Structure 1
Amino acid sequence: AIRSGTRRPLKSISDMIRGKTGRFRQNLLGKRVDYSGRSVIVVGPELSLHECGLPKDMGLELFKPHMISELIARGYAQTPRSAKLLIEDKDPIVYKVLEYVVQDHPVLLNRAPTLHRLGVQAFQPVLVDGKALRIHPLVCAAFNADFDGDQMAVHVPLSLAAQMEARMLMLSSHNILHPANGKPLALPSQDMVLGAYYLTRKRLGAKGEGKSFSSFEEVMLANENKSVDINTIINVRHRGVWYKDTTVGRVIVNNILPEEMDYIDDLIDKKRLSKLVNETYLIAGNKKTVIFLDKLKNLGFDAATKAGLSIAISDILIPDKKHKIIDAAQKEVDDIQDKFKRHVLTDGERYNKVIDIWTHATSNVAATMMNGMESSDQGFNPVYMMADSGARGSQDQIKQLAGMRGLMAKPKKSMTGGKGEIIESPITSNFKEGLSVQEYFISTHGARKGLADTALKTADAGYLTRRLVDVAQDVVISETDCGTINGILADDLKEGEDIIEPLSERILGRTILEDFIEDGKVLIKAGTMIRDDEGTMISDSNIESIQIRSVLTCESLRGVCAKCYGWNPSNHKLVDLGTAVGIQAAQSIGEPGTQLTLRTFHIGGTATRIIEQSEMQTRRAGVIKYSDNLESADAKDESGILVTRCMVRHSKISIIDKDGQKTTEYNVPYGANLNVEDGEKVEAGTILFQWDPYTDVILARQTGLVELKDFIENETYQVEAVEGGKKQMVIVESKDRNLSPHVEIIDKKGTILAGGTILPVSANLVVRRGDKVVRGQTLVKIPRAIGKTRDITGGLPRVTELFEARKPSDPAVVSEIDGIVKFGETKRGVRKILVEGVDETVRKYSIPYGKHVVVHEGDKITAGTSLCEGSISPADILSILGPKKVREYLVNEIQEVYRLQGVKIDDKHIEVIVRQMMQKVSIDEVGDSQFLPQDRINRANFFETNEKLQSMVVITDSGDSELEEEILVEKQEYLEINKALKADGKKSAKSRKSKPATFNPLLMGITQASLNTESFISAASFQETTRVLTDASTSGKTDYLQGLKENVAVGRLIPAGSGSPHLKNILVSDPELASNEEKTPAEKKSEKEVV
């Protein structure tokens, strides 16, 4: 920058328009508004859901213009000046008028940061004394507000249209479902949950047990007369049905339910409450649900107050078995250490096993502690009740109070899941016993990490939301049905083999693509939206997957269509035209991002590990079927027991039911021990196969003698430890890159029977040169870095990496064709792998030094198989497996991260963003179009152009016409010209069919996609302002103002919601007036006579 005389850099024009404080972001996209105020919030439990308490003084100031006109109208003042003075003097009459003015005039409340649209809601103001705003307890979740000094802003909508929008769309009682997942958001929390839980808990031996009552009223009367307690077990008759063994409290809860609902005879905790509110919404509708929520709030607070639950240190019960469990674990750890000293185990194996023992011990202590608390005082222990009901606290926190704190993380910047990130001596004390000095010191790290993470990560999450909003801002519902015949395949979402989200839940609120037929009957017609009943129907049938419409395959030219999107999660109705689904998607993904980053803070840095699975049980009975590529071999394991080993990767075992249908499919890990045979009948719960989760193995592929290649002591391997005279050989990184240690199997003549796999660094050789081995025997063990600590710190960067479609830090090399693996030569440590396809094609791949190759010579592989370890890059999936697979991959991977945190987001939101990432195509062959090669064109424009080309021909010989050669002419026009020429006896023109253009799909990261949008105003207001504007002006771009951002910037109504183009031409008329005008006086007269 140019500096002034005083060395101060001068502010250039580009400085003035770019950045957060520049013209775009400061003045055009975000403006300050008049008529607003802010104040501290306090809880207002006496309010209804649609009300908020507004301080009188604030009301006077905000409604001043309305007040002045009303005072003059009522004759209390003659001029605006005198009215103003009345208001400033706070004349008693003013407050009377104020009551009238605020009646039916909604106000908007907003709490910063506004992470999603529910951060601004409309309320009906109720005037209160004091200076604090009063907030209904149930809307706190939406605002993410608490009452430790939070402040909120009030805005007054002035125009009639604004008031109407506030009342119809933004009123808090119309927004009780979460737009991200359609679950209720206005849910009772804390005290209210505790109250409902206390009411519905049973206590044996309470006063009046076993009495029977003929109605709810009788129960209430008996309770008021103290002849039964709240928790007494009784029988009651309701709508002609006897309910046995219910409680007085449950009757009280059922008494406030809307009459459409059935009797609820359950213990009500937070989860059950959420389900109950959801059911009420579906059965009884919005209005009754809101009334029910208010009654529930009152009942919950009332019950919690009367129950008088409080906790004392004596309620925190330390289990008696705790020391036994810890001593047993310590003994196991000592055994492991002993084995390590005897060199049976490597250091990595020892560390993993120690961490695992302590993880198990901690969860054992926690389990016995919870059991102890549950049985104390029939489960009426207040600490247990608070956690069990979901009101406050978690098992994890109680574990630290009464069990043991467990393992702690080490001070480290990044968590990779490698060795040494968890301190292996756990904290065995809890907070009730008190920590030792060493334990206290270890603890400090976790607590600080929590606080530091919080501060750093909030900014990252905010930036992610901003990029998401920018990429998806112009996705609006533009038509009801685009008429596409494409869709996506939905199936159960699995992690490993466990179903995490069943098919019926994944397709809720989506449109079905094809008729759903069972036994020749059409049960659900194509184009039907799937609600609960249809979902149940589909899950009861035996099908694994179903085709549904999706925004990923929607063919609308601009925006997406309602049928492809499905229902709007926030009201369970088909989404309206003009809904800004792009913004909704961005907010739904970004909002939990901020929540996720704050997650480490609460547990206080104790390390939680995922306990690895090591066996697979079948969930259903049936007949075993091996996949075609599954090969097995019998060999002895380390302990000398004969086992059947799986010899290939990517093989599967299926369970076939009696109808011959495949019910479930399991992936078998390489080297797993198979416990069942092909064609065997099994019961549910049979163990199919087992494996060691902590070590990868390399098995002998043939029977023969071991030959070691490139094994040089202290160069490619080191001898670690002597155990019973046996040395353990561990591969180390060699300075000479041409050496690549591998194991081959030869026969007595020295002919190679099986080529070797290059051994990765830190692999342990189990066999020695000259050993005789049989097929399936373990040759090499490779310790796995697992036991990743779960923490969204790993999560947010992962989400960003996926949305930006970046290459992973160490991507796997992937095969582009189906074929058979052959190993090539090794040069400077780089291994060549050849894949020979069916039609003699050969592809060569180079594997970098030190990477573990996961295929063997002679393996049959399919396109998209990784040849070495590492995660697959989305760009590779796109180029090899096509756009369908990459969309599926992105949606599932992003969901994975959120699911680990227990955050539920509807698939369709992620799909909207992925659609935007894939909206551009790159022109491959130009054909007869106007495109240039490598042009980046919007997918819709590309198909539109190609469609136009189909109705055109290219002139090859103009004949006697006035047409030029090599130009495009409409087919119809060409035929007419030739007809005329023929009639005149002239030479007709000749033509050929037009050639369409071809394309390659592109995958862009969200930042790149936002900068490549059609609108330059939108791109400039996002990032790189100067560059975008320069490019736009040099190429003379036009902005057609079709998205939301560019319209906000130029100050027009946005083309979404009530500003939608399809609402522009609506005329409002009074039907009675219209019908009267058309009739003659005589007709009107005759009508009167009839009446």
Structure 2
Amino acid sequence: PTQDIVLGIYYVTALIEGRKGEGMSFLSIEDVLSAMDHNVVDVNSKIRLKYRGEWITTSPGRVLFNSILHPELRYINKQMGKKSLGSLIDAAYDRVGQEALVEMLDKIKELGYHWSTISGISFGLGDVIIPPQKKDIVEQALAKEEVLSSQYEMGVLTEDEYLRQKETLWSEASREAADAILANMDVTNPIRMMMESGARGSKSQVAQMAGIRGLMSDPSGKIIDYPIVSNFREGLNMLEYFISTHGARKGLADTALRTAKSGYLTRRLVDVAQDLIIIAEDCGTDKGVCIRPLLQDGKMIISLGERIIGRTNLRDIVSPETGEVVVPAGELIDSEKAWQIEKAGLEEVWVRSPLTCALQDGICRQCYGMDLSSREKVLPGETVGVVAAQSIGEPGTQLTMRTFHTGGVRITGEDITQGLPRIEQLFEVRRPKKVAFLSDRDGYISEIREMEGKRKVFISSSEEGVESRSSYNIPASQPLLVEEGQQVRKGQPLTDGHIDPQQLLEIEGLEAVQNYLVDNIQSVYLSQGVSVSNKHIEVILRKVAPVNRVRVIEEGDSSFVSMELAWLNDLEREVENIRAGNERFLQEAVRIMSGKKLLDLAGQGGLESALVFKGQELDERSVRQILRPGSGVSELTLEDEGDVLRVIVGESSFRRAMTGLELIETVELSEDETIPSGT
């Protein structure tokens, strides 16, 4: 549901003090509805109702709302906004099925439109309330700005530091003013109702109407260091109005340009993922990904339960308290099981993922899990690659619109055109412009040395009593995130900036890179209020940062070329073939060489153990020991019934030296059993 419907439902389920009929008690839902019809009690009054043998405090509006719900979903005793309506519909689909849900949605629509009309909610200039604290907030910010200016003029602050601190100062002032507006608004204020219900508008738009507009960006995205302290209610002066035009125009230009960009992103994503189809029941892998709640600035944005619904469990999930299995391995986690897992107090869960599916071409049903459109296990033949590409590309248009809605105002330290370019940067695993320095070890910051134009940061760690240090030269313009004496872990950012995936790969491995990409793509969408399932992101990343592709460093006896990017399955198959081939040739060698006396052997390195058998009669164990891969033996001289037999390893020939070099047997032996591989 959107806009009018949401607003109507929010109004009808509101509980407002001091309304007509407050404190009345009713014995049934019918009594409440009758009293409302006869105008005895107001829709938002606080009343008591006996429901299923218990007295509850509620309102006639909430009773009315519950009367249109399916009996299984009653009784919801809270004010319903856009989010809670969404959750209700979600739960209803699972509990009462599609048919009953469609009827219920129809009634919700009718009720929403009816009450948004009756409520008479609209807003005039008088509803935009400027908080009395605004004057003090502005004065304090201007005083602090003066201090920063004098420090900058004296050379205490660099230009970058000055601008950054000034930006933080005004962002904070805008935030304070926005909080003050809401604190001063009555719960029945139309603007507040529209915003809090989720029907229309956001906190930042209200802040611009009644608080402080704050700092603006110029056409190139640089901050104009003159803050707009007025708001739309008071009106802007000429200079402020002129500065505002940059943002307004940028918003319109952005909307036009980026809609095209978002379409192009969708096209590229479809191109890369169109061959990902569900082609098998189960690939049999024992790999998966570890899912944790998504946090941003220490706050939980998506709970563990929400993130694991629709995934296949990889390992038995055991309750830490009782020790009993909550969900066995290989089961699909539905909302009921997700709730049980959260209740058990678990902080992470290992699940199957499209990223780690062992199939070479498509994806298996177990690794994909639930089809999000039907809430059933995904069907064979489903084009999950295209679905993922569209699910990620479509909200891209919403990322592009953000400048338009906030009129080019700087909200956080990041540029407002972060959305789409950042998504592209992450999917293409590009090196970002402003790269953060990462710690290459677990340890602590032992020293930060200030030098000309840079700082040297030392990290110390001790392994088995041996102390070691590594140092980083960090430019003075890049703010540090750590201080002396602080404990750091491997892969932790030491400075401001984005993490370079390539660097993270070298330090922490592929799994860390995949987690970083998934979480950051998710964060960009969430910052715009768009929700995209992790599963879609993982499907695309399967092609972008494949967990089952490795780079062959040394080809050995394989058919691969050095530095080739190979499928892990192909590599393992090749290694298996080489092993089997080696075994065949070894058995052949054992057959030919057993019972013969070893006279001499030649080769490079690793011959010590082989020399033990010199002068002895060979058996299977000694032949295997001498010819094991990596032994370095290249030539053997054997005695067989008075003849001397010369064996050249690797040149595929066994020759009798005494009888005119006649070829008797051919044995090939591989020197390397395995192929060293790395990503």
Scaled to the shorter chain, the TM-score interval is 0.7 to 0.9
Match of 1:606 among 390, 404, 409: 409
Which residue number in structure 1 is paired with residue 550 of structure 2? 921
CA shift digits 1:318-369 (9 cap, x unpaired): 3334334433443444455566667776665555444444333333332232
Match of 2:510 among 879, 883, 889: 883
Which residue number in structure 1 is paired with residue 373 of structure 2? 570
Displacement of 1:295 in angstroms is 0.9
- Conserved 8 A contact 1:189-1:391: yes
Displacement of 1:296 in angstroms is 0.6
Which residue number in structure 1 is paired with residue 312 of structure 2? 511
TM-score, normalised to structure 2's length?
0.77
Determine if the alignment matches structure 1 residue 803 to structure 2 residue 427: yes
- Conserved 8 A contact 1:508-1:530: yes
Which residue number in structure 1 is paired with residue 206 of structure 2? 398
Write the letter of the residue equivalent to 1:914: L
Describe the shift of the 1:498–1:393 C-alpha distance in structure 2 as closer, same or farther (beyond 3 A): closer
For structure 1, which segment, 806-815 or 554-563, has the greater mean C-alpha deviation from structure 2 after superposition?
Answer: 806-815
User: Helix, strand or coil: the match of 2:287?
Assistant: coil
- Conserved 8 A contact 2:552-2:676: yes
Distance 2:161 2:372 in 1: 48
User: Helix, strand or coil: the match of 2:49?
Assistant: strand
Describe the shift of the 1:838–1:427 C-alpha distance in structure 2 as closer, same or farther (beyond 3 A): closer
What is the RMSD computed on CA atoms of the aligned residues?
4.0
Describe the shift of the 1:474–1:429 C-alpha distance in structure 2 as closer, same or farther (beyond 3 A): same
Match of 1:372 among 151, 165, 184: 184
Distance 1:195 1:859 in 2: 52
- Conserved 8 A contact 1:315-1:382: yes
Describe the shift of the 1:325–1:798 C-alpha distance in structure 2 as closer, same or farther (beyond 3 A): closer
Structure 2 alignment gaps of length 5 or more: 593-626, 628-663
- Conserved 8 A contact 1:480-1:561: yes
Displacement of 1:260 in angstroms is 0.9
Same amino acid, percent of matched pairs: 39
Write the letter of the residue equivalent to 2:22: E
Write the letter of the residue equivalent to 1:467: R
Describe the shift of the 1:435–1:807 C-alpha distance in structure 2 as closer, same or farther (beyond 3 A): closer
Which residue number in structure 2 is paired with residue 295 of structure 1? 107
User: Helix, strand or coil: the match of 1:921?
Assistant: strand
Distance 2:531 2:289 in 1: 20
Displacement of 1:797 in angstroms is 1.8
Describe the shift of the 1:812–1:312 C-alpha distance in structure 2 as closer, same or farther (beyond 3 A): closer
User: Helix, strand or coil: the match of 2:214?
Assistant: coil
User: Helix, strand or coil: the match of 2:571?
Assistant: helix
Which residue number in structure 2 is paired with residue 90 of structure 1? none
Determine if the alignment matches structure 1 residue 895 to structure 2 residue 483: no
Distance 2:471 2:23 in 1: 77
Displacement of 1:227 in angstroms is 2.4
Write the letter of the residue equivalent to 2:203: Q
Displacement of 1:434 in angstroms is 2.0
Displacement of 1:938 in angstroms is 3.2
- Conserved 8 A contact 2:217-2:409: no
Which residue number in structure 2 is paired with residue 532 of structure 1? 335
Which residue number in structure 1 is paired with residue 73 of structure 2? 261
Which residue number in structure 2 is paired with residue 313 of structure 1? 125
- Conserved 8 A contact 2:504-2:513: yes
- Conserved 8 A contact 2:309-2:338: yes
Displacement of 1:606 in angstroms is 1.8
- Conserved 8 A contact 2:218-2:224: no
Distance 2:115 2:504 in 1: 57
Displacement of 1:876 in angstroms is 3.0
Which residue number in structure 2 is paired with residue 83 of structure 1? none
Describe the shift of the 1:231–1:557 C-alpha distance in structure 2 as closer, same or farther (beyond 3 A): same
- Conserved 8 A contact 2:429-2:501: yes
- Conserved 8 A contact 2:279-2:380: yes
Describe the shift of the 1:996–1:591 C-alpha distance in structure 2 as closer, same or farther (beyond 3 A): farther
Determine if the alignment matches structure 1 residue 488 to structure 2 residue 301: no
Describe the shift of the 1:270–1:810 C-alpha distance in structure 2 as closer, same or farther (beyond 3 A): closer
Distance 1:321 1:877 in 2: 46
Displacement of 1:994 in angstroms is 9.0
Displacement of 1:602 in angstroms is 0.8
Describe the shift of the 1:211–1:574 C-alpha distance in structure 2 as closer, same or farther (beyond 3 A): same
CA shift digits 1:877-927 (9 cap, x unpaired): 334433222222222232232233232222221111221122543333334
Distance 2:234 2:496 in 1: 46
Structure 1 alignment gaps of length 5 or more: 1-187, 415-420, 610-787, 967-986, 1003-1091
- Conserved 8 A contact 1:407-1:423: no
- Conserved 8 A contact 1:929-1:997: no
Displacement of 1:831 in angstroms is 10
Which residue number in structure 2 is paired with residue 114 of structure 1? none
Determine if the alignment matches structure 1 residue 955 to structure 2 residue 585: yes
Describe the shift of the 1:794–1:382 C-alpha distance in structure 2 as closer, same or farther (beyond 3 A): closer
Which residue number in structure 2 is paired with residue 279 of structure 1? 91
- Conserved 8 A contact 1:818-1:863: yes
User: Helix, strand or coil: the match of 1:264?
Assistant: coil
Describe the shift of the 1:400–1:947 C-alpha distance in structure 2 as closer, same or farther (beyond 3 A): same
Describe the shift of the 1:477–1:317 C-alpha distance in structure 2 as closer, same or farther (beyond 3 A): same
Displacement of 1:460 in angstroms is 2.0
Write the letter of the residue equivalent to 1:475: L
Which residue number in structure 1 is paired with residue 569 of structure 2? 940
User: Helix, strand or coil: the match of 2:394?
Assistant: helix
Distance 2:18 2:443 in 1: 73
Write the letter of the residue equivalent to 1:367: D
Distance 2:62 2:504 in 1: 55
Distance 1:846 1:284 in 2: 60
Which residue number in structure 2 is paired with residue 744 of structure 1? none
Distance 1:584 1:559 in 2: 14
Distance 2:487 2:233 in 1: 60
Which residue number in structure 2 is paired with residue 224 of structure 1? 37
Which residue number in structure 1 is paired with residue 649 of structure 2? none
Determine if the alignment matches structure 1 residue 382 to structure 2 residue 190: yes
Describe the shift of the 1:505–1:343 C-alpha distance in structure 2 as closer, same or farther (beyond 3 A): same
Describe the shift of the 1:302–1:560 C-alpha distance in structure 2 as closer, same or farther (beyond 3 A): same
Which residue number in structure 2 is paired with residue 410 of structure 1? 217
Determine if the alignment matches structure 1 residue 192 to structure 2 residue 5: yes
Describe the shift of the 1:283–1:607 C-alpha distance in structure 2 as closer, same or farther (beyond 3 A): same
Describe the shift of the 1:884–1:998 C-alpha distance in structure 2 as closer, same or farther (beyond 3 A): farther
Describe the shift of the 1:921–1:196 C-alpha distance in structure 2 as closer, same or farther (beyond 3 A): same
Write the letter of the residue equivalent to 1:213: F
Which residue number in structure 1 is paired with residue 50 of structure 2? 237
Match of 1:449 among 250, 271, 276: 250
Distance 2:23 2:130 in 1: 35
CA shift digits 1:378-413 (9 cap, x unpaired): x32322222222212223222222x23421323142
Displacement of 1:498 in angstroms is 3.4
CA shift digits 1:805-826 (9 cap, x unpaired): 2223355676878899999xx9
User: Helix, strand or coil: the match of 1:305?
Assistant: helix
Write the letter of the residue equivalent to 1:904: S
Displacement of 1:539 in angstroms is 2.8
- Conserved 8 A contact 1:949-1:994: no
How do 1:6-85 residues align onto structure 2 when only pairs under 5 Å count?
Answer: none
Distance 1:559 1:278 in 2: 30
Determine if the alignment matches structure 1 residue 998 to structure 2 residue 675: yes
CA shift digits 1:610-669 (9 cap, x unpaired): xxxxxxxxxxxxxxxxxxxxxxxxxxxxxxxxxxxxxxxxxxxxxxxxxxxxxxxxxxxx
Write the letter of the residue equivalent to 2:217: K
Which residue number in structure 2 is paired with residue 1078 of structure 1? none
Displacement of 1:949 in angstroms is 4.4
- Conserved 8 A contact 1:959-1:988: no
Determine if the alignment matches structure 1 residue 249 to structure 2 residue 50: no
For structure 1, which segment, 882-891 or 191-200, has the greater mean C-alpha deviation from structure 2 after superposition?
Answer: 882-891
CA shift digits 1:164-214 (9 cap, x unpaired): xxxxxxxxxxxxxxxxxxxxxxxx111111111121122333333333333
Distance 1:831 1:499 in 2: 34
Which residue number in structure 2 is paired with residue 467 of structure 1? 268
